[in-house]
Amino acid sequence: MENRPPRSRAGAPAPLLLILLSAAYCMAYIDRLMMAVVAEPVKQAFALSDTQLFLLTGAAFVVIYGIVGALSGALLDRWSRRKLVILSLGAWSLCTVACGFAGNFWQLALARAGVGVGEAAIVPAAISLISDTYPPERRPLAMAIFYAGGMAGILLAWMIGGWIASAYGWRPAFFLAGPPGLIVGLLILWRGEDPPREAAPVAATSGGSTFRVVWCNRPLVWLIGAGSVVTFVNIGLVNQLGSFFIRSHGMSVREVGLIFGPLMAGGMACGLIGGGWIGNRLAAHGDTDVLIRFSLWNTLALFPLYMLIFLVPSKTLALAATFVGTSISVLYSPCYSAAYQAISAPHTRATAAGISSCANALIGSALATFLVGMLSDHWKPLYGADSLRYAMMAGMVTCLLSALMFLRARALLARESGIRLR
């Protein structure tokens, strides 16, 4: 009996719920990244600056996504997570189609904000559902599988979106990206169920709002902060690397879709599954600190790997470095997600996931991406097409800052739990 897979409340195997959530995350990434896939044609169509372009690929989506994500996390700790996922899928799918009808920059920015509102609930809902379905020693791999759904979305967005945009224009890419999400929503309505929530002590649930409980958990706050800063590398740069290869290595939109997209998505999928495998073993033989320590060293390793992408003169070598770099860039993610869920009170897990999603969006995606876009515009008279290359290199300081924040989280956790750091 013990070897059977966990089951949801309605008796459906937990793997089915995990597959449906992964499919939803796949659709989320397709719709999220379509703007990055067609960034250069849209820039030409509306005569945009780099600052405006990265507002569309970054801030116009992620600011709203982050703020609503934090609010949705608190709602998910009180309401049906399945129902909110279904409503979110419908909303962001329709807004993706609306992007294709935009007639100017502001209409496109508004539609992108709508996609952000819709997608805000998917990560908090999924992380909460997975944490209530799988025991701690199995969570990293389950979370890795969920996140790998997003990597499949990256692959499909760059390959299919790039081909459609080059063959038929950027608007049809949005028209075809939205409807599949509605189908996934219907499947979740048909077969998805909420598992029972893990019970929390009465004293823990009587301490006020879930936001306050999370804020008072200082190791959790620093851990979420560290994860949000390093998110620039594995989310913020995803929206910019395509433009980098077009400008600095002369690739076409079609080439980026058929070559760069699969390399990046394949690398990130391998990194996530590998990170989940590692995380399961670390969680089974160690405490939460070992998961944080692994995340810290992983973050430090990203700095030289991504500098290699930006500095090698050969397109082939840069693409090979992209595969390796993107693999390592997400290796920590399952361990990090399992760690912050482990130190969250059970009744605040969705809130913590929503706050993490918000911080990732506002800091790692919106702020860092916007600053890189501004720096690229500032350096354009000096460096020309390579201004983006050097602006992205400057953004890699986020790895070092994140590592310091992971160190602080470890120190606070050790002080509270009485363990000795290694």
Mean pLDDT score, 197-206: 53
Stretch among 6-15, 237-246, 258-267, 323-332 having the lowest mean pLDDT: 6-15
Name the H helices within 39-121: 39-46, 50-54, 60-76, 81-100, 105-119
Q: What are phi and psi of 413, to 5 degrees?
A: -65, -40
| Residue 200 pLDDT | 54
Model confidence band, residue 256 (pLDDT cutoffs 50, 70, 90): confident
CB atoms within 10 A of CB 372: 25
Mean pLDDT score, 393-414: 92
Model confidence band, residue 408 (pLDDT cutoffs 50, 70, 90): very high
Cβ proximity of 92 and 118 under 8 Å: yes
Say which DSSP state 421 is in: P
> Among the ranges 13-22, 227-236, 251-260, 314-323, which has the highest mean pLDDT value?
314-323
pLDDT of residue 174 exceeding 50, the answer is yes
> What is the pLDDT of the chain when averaged over all its residues?
83
The string over 381-414, giving b where at least 16 C-beta atoms fall within 10 Å of a residue's C-beta and e elsewhere, is eeeeebbbbbbbbebbebbeebbebbbbbbebbb
| Residue 328 pLDDT | 92
- The domain segmentation of the chain, as residue ranges, is 14-194+208-416
Stretch among 51-55, 186-190, 331-335 having the lowest mean pLDDT: 51-55
| Residue 203 pLDDT | 45
Residue type at 418 in one-letter notation: G
Q: What's the rounded Cα separation, in Å, for the pair 273 and 147? A: 9
| Residue 406 pLDDT | 96
pLDDT of residue 84 exceeding 70, the answer is yes
pLDDT tens for each residue of 232-252: 887 777 667 888 888 888 888
Between 260 and 269, the more confident residue is 269
pLDDT of residue 10 exceeding 80, the answer is no
pLDDT of residue 120 exceeding 80, the answer is yes
| Residue 274 pLDDT | 92
Mean pLDDT score, 81-93: 88
C-alpha separations of 219 from 201, 208, 224, 297 in Å: 20, 19, 9, 18
| Residue 199 pLDDT | 58
pLDDT of residue 207 exceeding 80, the answer is no
SS3 category, 47:
coil
Tell me the torsion sign for CA atoms 196, 201, 203, 208: negative
Q: What's the rounded Cα separation, in Å, for the pair 31 and 262? A: 17
pLDDT tens for each residue of 277-305: 998 888 887 778 899 999 999 999 999 99
pLDDT of residue 193 exceeding 70, the answer is no
pLDDT of residue 214 exceeding 50, the answer is yes
Map tokens 């999370």 to a residue. Answer: 214
Q: What's the rounded Cα separation, in Å, for the pair 152 and 146? A: 10
Mean pLDDT score, 370-399: 87
Stretch among 61-70, 76-85, 263-272, 293-302 having the lowest mean pLDDT: 61-70
Between 9 and 157, the more confident residue is 157
Domain 14-194+208-416 in CATH 1.20.1250.20? The answer is yes
pLDDT of residue 361 exceeding 60, the answer is yes
pLDDT of residue 58 exceeding 90, the answer is no
| Residue 263 pLDDT | 82
| Residue 11 pLDDT | 41
Between 412 and 160, the more confident residue is 412
pTM: 0.74
pLDDT of residue 93 exceeding 90, the answer is yes
What DSSP element (H or E) covers 155? helix 139-156
By percentage, how much of the chain surpasses pLDDT 70? Answer: 90
